[in-house]
Amino acid sequence: MNGLFITFEGPDGSGKSTQLQRLVEFLQERNIDFIKTREPGGTTISDLIRQIILDPEHTKMASKTEILLYAASRAQHVEEVIKPALQLGKVVVCDRFVDASIAYQGYGLGFGEEMIQEINRFATGGLTPDRTFLIDVSPEIGRERMKARNAQEFNQSLDRIEQKELDYHQRVRQGFLALAKSEARIKLVNGAESIEMIQELIREDIQQLLRNR
């Protein structure tokens, strides 16, 4: 049996991590063999790179450095975790993948999609998710949601990427929406809907994918 590679994407505060966890519970209930992972991170080496990328103290990080660090973290993640799990026929559920780099660095930082795609093709060996759920909300809504979650220490709780200006996050969202138009594997989901309604849509789609693999 072939593995199934599922990713979750969306602007900060979209609720993607909540939906990912609900899907994990669904897979557990049905005794489906899966792993849950995330980016940047997922391995010891990748988690160390994550700390460097997201540390708010690293204000002097060059944009090219950020792009290459994300790709380096992803390369290790693919080789050590994702590919072996897929080869064993498992469902891999991942919080972010290459689409995030295209949106955040390609659109957000203005480097364009082509360069980010090329770097990440090398990093991943061309690995592409079978399904990507893109949970879409405006940057304003996302920021309010994050603020509600971390009301006591909101500013201190934001990582280096989350602290960027609103214009940057608007470009990121446009990047995600452009990807959704060009990639059939991406299922665009309205993040303003209820958690239950979104999860129902996701579970129906996953069940179909599991039947077809």
Tell which residue, 100, 96, 99, 102, has the closest CA to residue 115.
102
Coil, strand or helix: which one is 9?
Answer: strand
Distance CA(188)–CA(207), nearest Å, equals 17
Q: Rounded mean pLDDT of the chain?
A: 93
Contacts of 133 (CB under 8 A, 6+ apart): 6, 7, 8, 9, 16, 19, 186, 187, 189, 202, 205
Q: How far does Cα 74 stand from its chain's mean position?
A: 11
Question: Which pLDDT value is given to residue 153?
Answer: 47
Contacts of 137 (CB under 8 A, 6+ apart): 10, 11, 13, 14, 15, 145, 191, 192
92 backbone dihedrals φ, ψ, rounded to 5°: -105, 120
pLDDT in tens, 67-125: 999 999 999 999 999 999 999 999 999 999 999 999 999 999 999 999 999 999 999 99
Distance CA(149)–CA(27), nearest Å, equals 26
Coil, strand or helix: which one is 119?
Answer: helix
Q: What confidence category does residue 151 fall into, taking pLDDT thresholds of 50, 70 and 90? A: low
pTM of the model: 0.92
Distance CA(71)–CA(67), nearest Å, equals 6
Helix 113-124 with 63-77: angle, nearest 10 deg: 30
Tell which residue, 161, 170, 169, 189, has the closest CA to residue 40.
161
Q: What confidence category does residue 15 fall into, taking pLDDT thresholds of 50, 70 and 90? A: very high
